[in-house]
Amino acid sequence: MTTPVQRDQFKIWSKGITHKPTGATSTPHPGAPHSGIMNLSQLGNLLPNGDDYRPHEVQMMMEQLWAEYVNANPRLFDVHD
C-alpha cells in the first residue's frame, strides 16, 4: 500500500524544495526558478519505516508547491511578469 503525499512533508526555501521523508530535492538553476536539477534520493524505494511514496505523486506535489512559492516570492528569483 502506498503512503499518501501531504503538503507538510515538504521543506521549501529559496534554494529549492525537499520531500522530507524521502530526501528527494529539486534545486532551481540561478535566474531560472522553473528549471533545475532533481535528486530523487530515496524516492521510489520502500523506506525503512515501511513508507512507500509514488514518485509521480511526490513530483506533482513538489511542482505545485514550488510554483506557489515562486509566485508568492518573485523578488527572491527576480521573476517579472
Please check the confidence at residue 1 and state whether its pLDDT lies above 90. Answer: no
Residue entry with cell 511542482: 63
Confidence of residue 74 (pLDDT cuts 50, 70, 90): confident
Please check the confidence at residue 81 and state whether its pLDDT lies above 60. Answer: no
pTM value > 0.85:
yes
Provide mean pLDDT across the span 51-57.
97
pLDDT at res. 79: 57
pLDDT at res. 45: 96
Q: Is residue 35 classed as helix, strand or coil in its secondary structure?
A: strand
Residue 77 host element (H or E):
helix 74-77
pLDDT at res. 80: 57
